[in-house]
Amino acid sequence: MESAVMTIRKTVAIVALLNLAYFGIEFAVALTIGSVSLFADSVDFLEDASVNLLILIGLRWSARARAKLGMALALILLAPGLATLWTAWIRFNHPSAPAPFLLSITGLGALAVNLLCALLLAAHRHHGGSLTKAAFLSARNDTLANIAIIAAGAVSAFLWRSAWPDIIVGLGIAAMNLDAAREVWEQARSEHATSSGPG
């Protein structure tokens, strides 16, 4: 059991560092080219780093304390969605298509990072309750979001030179974060109820 916890902790630490490193890269590119989807995804990388650091701290806690932390993480998962909605609103009022090549290549880098994180976490997604589930769901959703970002860049480059593909993908990322938050919240509430016992 102790060995399993140590393995999970090591995995979560690696994932946190990978997310933090790519946040800096993606955020810088998002600001440079004015991309809603990259902004949403970069905030999500920062959120993922924070979530994994909290998981690292919480893995040794009691089941009830972990369940409470799981509920807190569900609320944290809402942050990227809200930030994206605000950015999309600004871009809607001042539409301009981001540079498609930089959009796609940055999305490709994010995809590589998130695929690696998802693979690392997949082996632990059924251990540690809502905490590791939160980390796995986040990495999985991010992988899907990165594919959409790459597609938005391709659409902007070859089919429709517009801000809308980028905005649409950004809003899709926000929707996925909301759904992940719901799943983690529901599991954490169930774990809290179970750990509290009757009465």
The predicted pLDDT at position 40 comes to 79
Asked whether the beta carbons of 134 and 74 are under 8 A apart, the reply is: yes
Dist. CA 108–CA 196, nearest whole Å: 44
Q: Which pLDDT tens digit goes with each residue over 90-103?
A: 767 766 677 788 88
The predicted pLDDT at position 23 comes to 93
Q: Which pLDDT tens digit goes with each residue over 134-155?
A: 677 777 778 888 888 888 888 8
Q: 197 is written with which tokens?
A: 């016992």
pTM of the model: 0.71
The predicted pLDDT at position 199 comes to 42
> With 60 as the cut, is the pLDDT of residue 57 above it?
yes
> With 90 as the cut, is the pLDDT of residue 61 above it?
no
Say if domain 2-194 classifies as CATH 1.20.1510: yes
- Domain residue extents for the chain: 2-194
Asked whether the beta carbons of 134 and 127 are under 8 A apart, the reply is: no
Average pLDDT over residues 102-118: 91
